[in-house]
Amino acid sequence: MSKVMKEMISTLAYLLGVLCLTWLVITFVGQRTEVDGSSMEPMLTDGDNLIVDKITYRFSDPKRFDIIVFPFKQEKNTYYIKRIIGLPGETVQIDLQGNIYINGELLPENYGREVIAPEHVGIAVEPIVLGEDEYFVMGDNRNNSTDSRTEIVGNIHGDDIVGRAWVRIWPLSKLGILKHQ
């Protein structure tokens, strides 16, 4: 075998290794996603680029106030980014004054951009009982978010969660780890 042929095989093996490693990282460790819309303002804004951590939930359950990424079932290749409000087994309800209740107790939280307007309470005006692997999610921009308060999103099953929004990588002026809790 000539020296040129050995070099070509070596280069191809290297490139194949890099592609395999890239696939493994994107599939099992993390991936980039872009925020499209204003539903998570002020925390995340339209055009922000994030790295989604796909490992954490393999070893622990999602927690209240985690920002998660999940597929929107009504449209292929569309993912939503929302904050977990209700956990499995809990009952979530929102009154017409915009107060969020978990198991009948007022949820102490400060992630909402504004008070939820009565017309945006949605199906949560009635108590929503979450199943053993269901989560209730909401956008931080409460009056401009399609989330678990609507029937087209509803409760999110744990198996549908792609991962946890971890780091903002763009714009560079906002580069950093995202605060969840």
**The total number of residues written for the chain in this structure:** 181
- Given the residues 39, 54, 145, 148, the one annotated as active site: 39
DSSP state of 122: G
End-to-end CA distance of the chain: 60
156: tokens are 């999110």
Q: Are 69 and 165 within 8 A, CB to CB?
A: yes
- Given the residues 54, 82, 145, 148, the one annotated as active site: 82
112: tokens are 């909402």
| Burial environment of residue 164 by CB neighbours within 10 A (0 to 12, 13 to 18, 19 or more) | buried
**Active-site residue, 39 included:** yes
Active site residues: 39, 82
